[in-house]
Chains A and B, each alone.
Chain A
Amino acid sequence: MSAASILVITRSAPYGSSAARDALDVALTCSVFEQPVSLLFLDDAVFQLLKGQSPGGIGQKNLNAVQQSLPLYDIDRLYVGARALAERGLHASDLILPVQTIDEAELASLLADHTTVLSV
């Protein structure tokens, strides 16, 4: 981990509020300003990463499209709560991007490893 790094935590499901998009925008901005950034998806935020989203019918832009651009911005440290997935009957293979699953014991060290932690 570099000297300064930002961890963005998101806990909200997509589309029902702007939280998912707003968290992504913070991460993308970090990347534009060449700051190392990681994204942590907890609780219902794991739904943000589900494949096959099609929000045209509710007048919203597809989050999957933005998510697929994350590697182009060098945002590849994506962490997902292992229990959040399991509780929702999901597997990493259901998600649009490769992620690292972390358990509760790893959560504290993830926070400790970053200079700044931003909740959105």
Chain B
Amino acid sequence: MILHTLNQPPANAACFERCREAMSSDDTLLLIEDGVYWALPAFAARLESLSGRVKVLAADAAARGVDLPAAHCIDDQAFVALCVSHDKVVSWF
């Protein structure tokens, strides 16, 4: 079980695609910084295969005016908890 973090915006699609390909079925993706834009409805199809396994850092989404369902958003404490509940963390940037 790996926690992947991704901080790149949709213009850097290669970064997102490598991350997505590297994910196993029990991995989790946490979108941070400019990565939160991937959670917009426009990109829903590309996240479809990850359904239920994508989280968004709430402060980064709020900062950018990206309005998302609360269920997807986590705070910094929950970020730490995800690091603990997964075996390792892989950062994509």
> CB within 8 Å of B: which residues of A?
9, 11, 42-43, 81, 104, 107-108, 111-112, 115-117, 119
Contact = CB atoms under 8 A, between A and B. Distances in A.
Interface of B: 2, 14-15, 18, 21-24, 27, 88-93
A11 B2 contact: no
B88 A43 contact: no
B88 to A, nearest CB: 6
B2, B18, B23 — which one has the most chain A CB atoms within 10 A of its CB? B18
A117 B92 CA distance: 11
Which secondary structure dominates chain A's binding surface? mixed
Top 9 A-B residue pairs of the complex, sorted by shortest distance between their CB atoms: A104-B21, A108-B24, A107-B22, A117-B90, A119-B91, A43-B14, A42-B18, A107-B21, A108-B22
Given A108-B22, A115-B88, A117-B88, 7 more contacts: A11-B18, A43-B15, A107-B18, A111-B90, A112-B24, A117-B2, A119-B92
Contacts of A112: 2, 24
A20 to B, nearest CB: 15
A37 to B, nearest CB: 15
Contacts of B23: 108
Contacts of B90: 9, 111, 117, 119
